[in-house]
Amino acid sequence: MSELIVRAEKLDAADELAALRAQFVLDDVVYLDGNSLGALPAAVPGRVEDVVRRQWGALRIRSWDESGWWTAPERIGDLIAPLVGAAAGQIVVGDSTSVNVFKALVAAVRMAGPGRDEIVVDATTFPTDGYIAESAARMTGCTLRPVTPAEVPGVLGERTAAVLLNHVDYRTGRLHDLPALTAAVHAAGAVVVWDLCHSAGALPVGLDEHGVDLAVGCTYKYLNGGPGSPAYLYVRSGLQDRFDSPLPGWNSHAEPFGMRPDYEAAPGALRGRVGTPDILSMLALEAALEVWDGVSIEAVRAKSLALTDFFLECVAAYLPLGRVESVTPAAHEERGSQVALRCDDAGDVMKRLIERGVVGDFRSPDVLRFGFTPLYVGFADVERAARVLGEVVA
């Protein structure tokens, strides 16, 4: 038995989060794609059946009150809040990440005020964020300025209205400096919007601590909410009365059942709601979030770093020198919860890995991505994944 296998066993035996794996529906596959779609929490199927058969099937319209459907967006938002370092009453769940990026970015420009006509966007962002930013710029009469996160402080000025940034780069796994970049945006008098899709549930975010203005994120990655589960929108409490949504739907009205022709925004984060909530997927998400009861995000981060460190060590041991190149930063303060490896024939390599029971994903043109969800990934998984990768590329 190799020294790395023995170490993996010892690390798993000492892992304080290891017992959480039993709360997920898993098989003998090494699943390292939780940064795209999290595994199914075991409590979800029973909860969904209850929602469908009893709440919808038996109670029908009564469930809006009796089953708490109407308050689900803010109730579930309060469950997400501690995972991103936010106090209650600042997060509302609903819509997709793309829709919430649009709401947040247009509202940010409106909050910035007259004379500020430039939106700065992460040039390396997930494509949708860039598309939304370009559309928001056209609609608000702003100029769009795409730059890398490292270049942001140098381009901020009196014209900057809003800055849209990703906390973790989806392709490389690089973790950007949220506290420093937020401070730089504020020093320029602008409003910052953070996309937390690849960080929420994997590492501490500290939205309140660092004075973030607005943030959005999905729930189907590290939060394990299921395919297409609703996203969320964070609006800092001090800005809520100024949050002017470009999508003022009846669900965000101060008197939603008044059916008045004039719009009056609801108080607080509720003004981030739009239309009727997607109840089935939303309540599946609520059940999925139960796995976080009593779990420290700091412990999750510590295990995430340990897993990715060990994976890089195993890759170095099992693969020929120069066969792959890590594009994920080695420094802990610059690393999310994934490792991206550049490989000439990455698409074919990933297909063969999946055939052998190691599931990651491929990003064009040459990147193998491996996501490490500390709630259910163990060190033996990591060692096996690297060993199979070595065999596949040999």
Alpha carbon distance 124, 166 (integer Å): 9
Q: Would you call 220 a catalytic residue per the annotation?
A: yes
The one catalytic residue among 31, 126, 234, 372: 126
Task: Tell me how far apart the terminal alpha carbons of the chain are, to the nearest angstrom.
Answer: 20
Q: Helix or strand or coil: residue 310?
A: helix
> Does residue 83 sit in helix, strand or coil?
helix
Segments in 241-289 forming alpha helices (H): 279-288
What dihedral do alpha carbons 96, 99, 103, 106 form, nearest 10°? 150
- The answer to whether 352 is a known catalytic residue is no
The C-alpha atoms of residue 82 and residue 223 are separated, in whole angstroms, by: 12
Structure token pair of residue 378: 């163990």
CA distance 233 to 272: 7
Query: Cα separation of 129 and 165, whole Å?
Result: 9
Neighbours of 359 (CB within 10 A): 18
Before 127, cis peptide (omega within 30)?
Answer: no
10 is catalytic: no
Helix, strand or coil, per DSSP, at residue 148: coil
Among the listed residues 221, 236, 335, 384, the single catalytic one is 221
Classify residue 333 by its DSSP letter.
Answer: G
15, 195, 213, 381: which is the annotated catalytic residue? Answer: 195
Of all helices (H) and strands (E), which one includes residue 342? strand 338-342
What the block records as the tokens of 380 is 């033996």
For residue 365, give the nearest of 351, 349, 345 by alpha carbon. 345
What does residue 309 show for φ and ψ, rounded to 5 degrees? -60, -45
Reference 32, options 326, 317, 330, 304; nearest CA is 304
Q: Does the active-site annotation cover 221?
A: yes
Q: Which of 179, 129, 130, 181 is nearest to 152 (CA)?
A: 181
> Is residue 390 classed as helix, strand or coil in its secondary structure?
helix
Q: 24, 170, 220, 222: which one is catalytic?
A: 220
Residue 195 appears among annotated catalytic residues = yes
Out of 47, 369, 384, 387, pick the active-site residue.
369
Residue bearing tokens 């800005």: 239
Phi, psi values for residue 235, rounded to 5° = -125, 115
Q: Active-site positions?
A: 126, 195, 220-221, 369
